[in-house]
C-alpha cells in the first residue's frame, strides 16, 4: 500500500521539532490517530479552518492524502511545504517578479482509448498520421521551465508574485507560486490534462485553486507599475542581465516573458522591451535559471 503523502513529511517534521508533534496531535494528525477519533470530522475541519485564518504558514497545511495516481497518471495537487501561503506585510513590501511563459504546448488528443496531452516522444506516429509536426508538441519544455521557476530559491524566498502560462491555443493559466509541481513528466501531463478538462485544480484538503484558467489578456492581471520584458535569442538588444535589472531598479514589478515552445519567437506585443541575454540560443529553463540567479544575487537570496 502507498504511504500517505503527508505522513513521511510529518514524521521528519516531528523529529526536527517536537512541539510540532503536539500541534499535529491537536489537529488530529497524531501517529496512532486516537485524537482524531475523539473528534467529529466537522470539529477537525473547523480547527483546520481556524488555524489557517490565524495565519498559519505553508508548513502546516501540506495537502493531506495519498500519493495515488489518477487514471491518466496525474497526482493530486499539493502545496510546497514551507512556502508561505500568504505574505506578511514585510514580505509584501519587498520587490517581486512575475513570469509569463508564452506559447506552451498543451494540446489534448485521443491516442488509442486514452485522451492525454500530446507530446513528440510518445505520440509521434499519431501526430504524423494527423499531418502534424511532432516537433511542435513539446509540453516537456513547459514542465522544465515551471520547475526552474517554482524550485528556485527566489520563489522559496517568497519573491515570485505570479506565474502565468499561455498555451499555444490561446488559453491562460494562473499558477500559484506555492504549488508543488509533479516531478515526473508523465504526472505533469496528467495534471495538465485534468486542468484542461476541469478548468481548475484545487489543493487536496482545501478549496484553494492552485491552477486555474483565467481570462485573457494577461495584462489585466499584472500590477500597474510593471515592467514587461520579453526574451528572445533573435533580439538585437543583447544585454548583461545583471546590469539591465539594476538599471530598471526595484520600483517597478519585473515581468519576464519567456517562450515555452521549441521554435519561433514570442509574439508578446504587450512587452515594454525585448532583450537577448546570451550569444547562444538557450533553453527556456536555462534562460529562467539565469533570470532567477541574477535576482537572487541582487536581493541577497542564498
Ligand X SMILES: C[S@@+](CC[C@H](N)C(=O)[O-])C[C@H]1O[C@@H](n2cnc3c(N)ncnc32)[C@H](O)[C@@H]1O
Which parts of this chain interact with ligand X (CB under 6 A)?
231-234, 258-259, 262-266, 276-278, 281-284, 287
- How many angstroms from the chain centroid is the CA of residue 251? 25
Give the nearest distance from C-beta 257 to ligand X in angstroms. Answer: 7
Q: In whole angstroms, what separates CA 297 from the centre of its chain? A: 22
- 85 vs 222, which CB is nearer to ligand X? 222
Nearer to ligand X, 28 or 259 (CB): 259
Do 294 and 300 contact (CB within 8 A), yes or no? no
Q: 61 or 141, CB closer to ligand X?
A: 141
**Residue whose grid cell is 473547523:** 46
| Closest distance to ligand X from the beta carbon of 273 (Å) | 12
Minimum CB separation of residue 111 from ligand X in Å reads 25
- The residue whose Cβ lies closest to ligand X is 259
Please tell me the distance from the alpha carbon of residue 295 to that of residue 292, in angstroms, as a whole number: 5
Contact present, 63 and 4 (Cβ < 8 Å):
no
- Helix, strand, coil distribution of the chain in percent, nearest 5: 40, 20, 40
DSSP assignment letter at 199? S
Q: Taking the complex as a whole, how short is the minimal distance between the CB of residue 150 and ligand X, in angstroms? A: 17
Q: Of 36 and 289, which has the nearer Cβ to ligand X?
A: 289
For the bound state, the minimum distance from the C-beta of residue 57 to ligand X, rounded and expressed in Å, comes to 34
The string over 8-43, giving b where at least 16 C-beta atoms fall within 10 Å of a residue's C-beta and e elsewhere, is: eebeebbeeeeebbeebbebbbbeeeebeeeeeeee
CB nearer to ligand X: pick between 135 and 246: 135
Amino acid at each position: 500500500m502507498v504511504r500517505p503523502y503527508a505522513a513521511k513529511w510529518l514524521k521528519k517534521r516531528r523529529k526536527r521539532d517536537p512541539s510540532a508533534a503536539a500541534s499535529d496531535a491537536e489537529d488530529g494528525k497524531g501517529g496512532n490517530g486516537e485524537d482524531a477519533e475523539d473528534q467529529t470530522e466537522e470539529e477537525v475541519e473547523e480547527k483546520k479552518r481556524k488555524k489557517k485564518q490565524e495565519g498559519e504558514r505553508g508548513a502546516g497545511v501540506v495537502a493531506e492524502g495519498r500519493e495515488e495516481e489518477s487514471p491518466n497518471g496525474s497526482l493530486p495537487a499539493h502545496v510546497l511545504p514551507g512556502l508561505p501561503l500568504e505574505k506578511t506585510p514585510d514580505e509584501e513590501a519587498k520587490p517581486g517578479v512575475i513570469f509569463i511563459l508564452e506559447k506552451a504546448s498543451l494540446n489534448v488528443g485521443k491516442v488509442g482509448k486514452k485522451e492525454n496531452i500530446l507530446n513528440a516522444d510518445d505520440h509521434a506516429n499519431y501526430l504524423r498520421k494527423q499531418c502534424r509536426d511532432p516537433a511542435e508538441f513539446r509540453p516537456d519544455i513547459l514542465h522544465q521551465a515551471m520547475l526552474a521557476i517554482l524550485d528556485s530559491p527566489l520563489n522559496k524566498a517568497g519573491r515570485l508574485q505570479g506565474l502565468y502560462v499561455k498555451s499555444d491555443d490561446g488559453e491562460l493559466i494562473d499558477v500559484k507560486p506555492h504549488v508543488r509541481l509533479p516531478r515526473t513528466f508523465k504526472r505533469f501531463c496528467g495534471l495538465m490534462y485534468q486542468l484542461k478538462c476541469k478548468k481548475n485544480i484545487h489543493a487536496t484538503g482545501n478549496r484553494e485553486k492552485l491552477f486555474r484558467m483565467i481570462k485573457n489578456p494577461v495584462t489585466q492581471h499584472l500590477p500597474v507599475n510593471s515592467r514587461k520584458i520579453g526574451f528572445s535569442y533573435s533580439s538585437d538588444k543583447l544585454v548583461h542581465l545583471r546590469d539591465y535589472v539594476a538599471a530598471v531598479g526595484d520600483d517597478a514589478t519585473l515581468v519576464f516573458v519567456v517562450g515555452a515552445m521549441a521554435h519561433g519567437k514570442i509574439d508578446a506585443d504587450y512587452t515594454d522591451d525585448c532583450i537577448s541575454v546570451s550569444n547562444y540560443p538557450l533553453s527556456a529553463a536555462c534562460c529562467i535559471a539565469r533570470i532567477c540567479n541574477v535576482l537572487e544575487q541582487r536581493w541577497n537570496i542564498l
